[in-house]
Amino acid sequence: MSERWLAVFGANSDMAVACARRFACEGWSIHLASRDLAALERESANLTVRFGVNTAVHYFDAREYADHETCYRSMQPEPRGVLVAFGTMSGDVPELIAVNFTGAVNVLEIVAADFEKRGTGFIVGISSVAGDRGRQSNYLYGSAKAGFTAYLSGLRQRLYPHGIDVLTVKPGFTATKMTADLDLPVAMTATPAEVADAVWRSVGKRRHVLYVKAIWRLIMLGIIHVPECIFKRLRL
Ligand SMILES: NC(=O)c1ccc[n+]([C@@H]2O[C@H](COP(=O)([O-])OP(=O)(O)OC[C@H]3O[C@@H](n4cnc5c(N)ncnc54)[C@H](OP(=O)(O)O)[C@@H]3O)[C@@H](O)[C@H]2O)c1
């Protein structure tokens, strides 16, 4: 079988690292793209030593839209799958939208056009339950993720006739550096390895939306059905 390459944008995210290791463990070679090149090089060496796969490191900044195409084209051999994992909960309004929404959409439009032309591939986008309904505690981040979730839904429809799967991942609370300062309830919090296992089990299976811990599907089902006249009074 010819070599299978996965491209990971935001490859330094703790979830992305776990996903890359999960795929590498199954024999996939990995394109690692993000800003912190030293961290990427360390993980690249780790993947090669532990799993004996090939890797390549690429500089990628989600906010540098004009460079996305060049970065993607530099990924040789061409990837069979793409994971978009970068994200941020901090920064001002332009930063939150630029990274979590515009950057993700911009790079995936380039990937989608390529996969469409090649008639092959799968796409995994890490969105968030925060996008299921805007809440006062994180609605800027949440609205960017809501936009990303809607984007992935439209992309899934667009690419379906070409046999290309698009998986939306809603991890729920996950123990990563993003949430290191938060006191998260253990029972509702996934590990990056759990996210990676769930993603691995879902790709290529025509799954659409993945809630990593099933409890989050129920919680969000409840939250989206609370009438607005009650919802606006809650402090969620
Ligand atoms: N942790 C959670 O509870 C949780 C829950 C739901 C959804 N999510 C989403 O899941 C994804 C992964 O999150 P995580 O918790 O694994 O994150 P993380 O460990 O905090 O890592 C986030 C990564 O995003 C990258 N990043 C930030 N700004 C970037 C930019 N402008 N360009 C390129 N890369 C950039 C950083 O890369 P560099 O290190 O290279 O700068 C960083 O390593 C994110 O989309 C996040 O929004 C997280």
Q: pLDDT at position 3, please?
A: 87
How far does the centroid of ligand 1 lie from the alpha carbon of residue 223, in Å? 25
How far does the centroid of ligand 1 lie from the alpha carbon of residue 139, in Å? 17
How far does the centroid of ligand 1 lie from the alpha carbon of residue 82, in Å? 16
* Structure tokens that stand for 190 in this block: 């996934």
Give the count of beta carbons closer than 10 Å to the beta carbon of residue 109.
Answer: 14
Taking the C-alpha atoms of residue 130 and residue 236, their distance in angstroms, rounded to an integer, is: 11
How far does the centroid of ligand 1 lie from the alpha carbon of residue 12, in Å? 8
Hey, is 38 helix, strand or coil?
helix
- CB-facing half-sphere around the CA of 145: CA atoms within 13 A: 25
The residues, any chain, with a CB within 8 Å of residue 13's CB and separated by 6 or more, are 34, 85, 86, 87, 126, 176, 178
Pocket test for ligand 1, best of 9, 13, 43, 65 (most atoms within 8 A of CB): 13
Residue 235 CA: distances (Å) to CA of 137, 142, 232:
8, 15, 8
User: Which of ligand 1's atoms lies nearest the C-alpha of 12?
Assistant: 43
Which of 150, 58, 72, 59 has the alpha carbon at shortest distance from 115? 72
User: Which of ligand 1's atoms lies nearest the C-alpha of 129?
Assistant: 6
Please state the separation of Cα 225 from the chain's center in Å: 26
Pocket test for ligand 1, best of 19, 86, 145 (most atoms within 8 A of CB): 86
Cis bond before residue 77 (omega within 30° of 0): yes
pLDDT tens track of the chain, all 236 residues? 578 999 999 999 999 999 999 999 999 999 999 999 999 999 999 999 999 999 999 999 999 999 999 999 999 999 999 999 999 999 999 999 999 999 999 999 999 999 999 999 999 999 999 999 999 999 999 999 999 999 999 999 999 999 999 999 999 999 999 999 999 999 999 999 999 999 999 998 889 999 999 999 999 999 999 999 999 999 99
How far does the centroid of ligand 1 lie from the alpha carbon of residue 175, in Å? 12
Hey, is 142 helix, strand or coil?
helix
Q: In the structure, which protein residues have their CB atom closer than 6 angstroms to any atom of ligand 1?
A: 10, 12-15, 34-36, 39, 60-63, 85-88, 99, 126, 128, 171, 173-174, 176-179
- Whole-prediction pTM value? 0.97
